[in-house]
Amino acid sequence: MEAMRAVQAGPSRQSQVCVVVIGYDDAAHVTDAVRSALAQGPSVREVIAVDDGSADGSADLLERLALDEPRLRVVRRKANSGGCGSPRNDGIDATTAPYVMFVDSDDVLPPGAVDALLDAAAGRGAEVAAGLCVRRELPSGREVPWQPELYARAALVTVPSRRTRLVHDTLCVNKLYRTAFLREHGIRFPEGRFPYEDFVFTARVLAAGPRMALIADRVYVWHVRRSAERLSISLDRSGVDNWRARITAHALAYDTLLGAGEKRLARASRARFLDHALRMYARELDLRGPAYRREWWALTRAYLATFDAGDFALAPAPGRVIAQVVLASEKPCDLTRVKEVAARPARLRPPYARAADGTPVWSAGLPRVTLEHLLFRPVHLLPVAVDAELRPRARGTRLRLRLHELYGRMADAGPASVDAEFVSRRDGTAGLALTAEFLPDATGPAAPADLADEVGGSGPGPGSGPGSWTAETPVDLAALGSGTWDLRLRLRFHDGTVRETTAHASAGPGLLRRSVVPSRRHGVLLVQPYATRAGSLALRIAPGPRGVAAVLGRRLRRLLH
């Protein structure tokens, strides 16, 4: 019986899908994207490759490929549109297939993606089917799932507003759309140069109230090439115009949802802005110049001023706190501390100020930013602050951790011990696990040296409790081997609470610098503790004389060029 059903289902599934591949000056990758679409099998009726006015021979490559592949159709735009929306709209207009999906020229579809999405859409009578996208970092190959909570298991969503998490997945490429649905509702991408066009397109889809089938299958591989000569729009955040474009797209998506009567989805989209976009860009503020910071701050204040209390209430605490700081100060301030709160997990470093009535506040200079939630929030969700010092030495490397008090909450829970893991940046595996006990620090609750100038001199205030607890352990660097390692912590408290977090990289004299240390296994190790963009401690290691020479050689070439 099952075999008969499979035979009956087979022909009806054939020639149902159009895959639209868009590209501009990407001759190195576009044919791989097209081939990954063609390799999906007979379910794909056609692959429409839209070349957006390339000058690098991309279109000619596609034309030659089409000579041997009747399912491939090449559409050549005379001039570059400046964005991704116009070529995708060309694909929607050109297709004759009942379903359509989109692929960017530098990404690929994994085997079976189209069949999995088509089965879900056709089998559940859904206008949209969506699956898991993974971000693959190149050249390392490390993969990070995108919005995995949405795609943990198969589900049918008949009313999108009942699953507000849908607004968190702003991608269009991990989805299959019924062509007639898009055309009936006039759903298109913004034309021309409009960065973050996905945000608006996704909002227009949700505003139309489709039945959506969600599947747990991997259906899209998003290649992230941070070393590329021309970064993608989502990666090139160095200019403030990128932030302006992101705000514009977010605002239009919000207006689209609100205009369609989808208030719950509209508010959820603003909560996502606070928790994702605001935190991501805030982590990078201290890397930018003064002019960028001033303009970013002004743009953000103006946009946040359009939010109401309901918009803020839905967002997780870190995004709300950052927004409050921006709204409370006309000029950029406390950037180091803002970056720490923006980290994942969030960290709130001392000093811990209080208002005259004892209410926790951001600082004496910004008492309007209250932090009352810290008095009631469960300990396993608190933005605990841990400073880390890694000192590579010939006689032995040691890791020293200092956990700061947080308005008495740490003392109440009772710090007991910490599990520290060095996790490979390449594949996420643990290279070394350590455990150490926390002991009360004899010193008082002083502000760290690298925060003193940022927080305007606000002190911890009365009733702040013990200053900190310290834990120290030896580290066998040779056991880690070559690569880049992130430090992850699991704090254990006497009341049974466990809090997972990261550690702030202390920047005291001589702490964040390269060191060459002897090793019985490798002869020598080149060790580089450093702070990530979020301020967390990470570690690079190059073992052996050849490894040391290679690293120093690359550094010399960068200096010469």
Q: What is the pLDDT of residues 518-530, one digit of tens each?
A: 777 777 888 899 9
Q: What is the pLDDT of residue 233?
A: 57
Mean pLDDT over residues 56-76, rounded? 95
132 within some domain: yes
Ranges assigned E (strand) in 165-324? 175-178, 212-224
* Domain match, 175 and 247 both: no
Question: pLDDT-based confidence at 139, cuts 50/70/90?
Answer: confident
Q: Is the pLDDT of residue 464 over 80?
A: no
* Domain match, 429 and 301 both: no
* Domain match, 374 and 286 both: yes
Q: Is the pLDDT of residue 137 over 90?
A: no
- With beta carbons less than 8 A apart as the criterion, state whether 262 and 300 touch: no
Poorest-confidence range of 102-116, 302-316, 382-396?
A: 382-396
* Domain match, 412 and 316 both: no
- Which DSSP symbol is given to 148? T
Q: Is the pLDDT of residue 235 over 80?
A: no
- With beta carbons less than 8 A apart as the criterion, state whether 249 and 194 touch: yes
Give percent of the chain with pLDDT exceeding 90: 75
5 within some domain: no
517 within some domain: yes
Domain that holds residue 536: 381-560
Q: What is the pLDDT of residue 427?
A: 80
* Domain match, 339 and 480 both: no
435 within some domain: yes
Of 378, 411, 437, which residue constitutes the final position of a domain?
Answer: 378
Q: Is the pLDDT of residue 506 over 50?
A: yes
* Domain match, 369 and 391 both: no
Coil, strand, or helix at residue 120? helix
Question: pLDDT-based confidence at 378, cuts 50/70/90?
Answer: very high
Q: Is the pLDDT of residue 192 over 80?
A: yes
Crossing angle of the two packed helices 317-328 and 290-304, in degrees rounded to 10: 110
**Separation between Cα atoms, residue 355 and residue 368, nearest integer Å:** 9
* Domain match, 344 and 482 both: no
9 within some domain: no
Question: pLDDT-based confidence at 456, cuts 50/70/90?
Answer: very low
Residue with tokens 């927080």: 455
Q: What is the pLDDT of residue 419?
A: 97
Poorest-confidence range of 68-72, 175-179, 237-241?
A: 237-241
Q: Is the pLDDT of residue 446 over 50?
A: no
Task: Kindly report the backbone phi and psi dihedral angles of residue 236, in degrees, each rounded to the nearest multiple of 5, phi listed first.
Answer: -85, 85
Give percent of the chain with pLDDT exceeding 70: 88
Question: pLDDT-based confidence at 514, cuts 50/70/90?
Answer: confident
Q: What is the pLDDT of residue 467?
A: 83
Domain count, the chain: 3
Mean pLDDT over residues 42-68, rounded? 96
Q: What is the pLDDT of residue 57?
A: 94
Q: Is the pLDDT of residue 105 over 90?
A: yes
* Chain segment 303-359, per-residue pLDDT in tens: 999 999 999 999 999 999 999 999 999 999 999 999 999 999 999 999 899 999 999
**Separation between Cα atoms, residue 404 and residue 470, nearest integer Å:** 9
Question: pLDDT-based confidence at 441, cuts 50/70/90?
Answer: confident
Exposed, middle or buried: residue 258 (CB in 10 Å: 0-12, 13-18, 19+)?
Answer: middle
CATH at 161: 3.90.550.10
* Domain match, 141 and 192 both: yes
The whole-model pTM stands at: 0.87
CB atoms within 10 A of CB 457: 12
Q: Is the pLDDT of residue 462 over 80?
A: no
Alpha carbon 527 to its chain centroid, in Å, reads: 27
Of 351, 378, 405, which residue constitutes the final position of a domain?
Answer: 378
Supply the mean pLDDT for the chain.
89
* Domain match, 301 and 385 both: no
Q: Is the pLDDT of residue 557 over 60?
A: no
| CA nearest neighbour of 297 among 247, 360, 235, 343 | 247
234 within some domain: no
Of 323, 344, 378, which residue constitutes the final position of a domain?
Answer: 378
The encoded tokens of residue 207 equal: 């505003």
* Chain segment 22-50, per-residue pLDDT in tens: 999 999 999 999 999 999 999 999 999 99
* Domain match, 369 and 296 both: yes
Poorest-confidence range of 272-276, 427-431, 541-545?
A: 541-545
* Domain match, 183 and 35 both: yes
* Domain match, 346 and 392 both: no
Q: What is the pLDDT of residue 230?
A: 53
Q: What is the pLDDT of residue 453?
A: 36
Question: pLDDT-based confidence at 396, cuts 50/70/90?
Answer: confident
**Separation between Cα atoms, residue 279 and residue 292, nearest integer Å:** 16
**Separation between Cα atoms, residue 477 and residue 518, nearest integer Å:** 10
205 within some domain: yes
Q: Is the pLDDT of residue 232 over 70?
A: no
498 within some domain: yes
Mean pLDDT over residues 472-499, rounded? 93
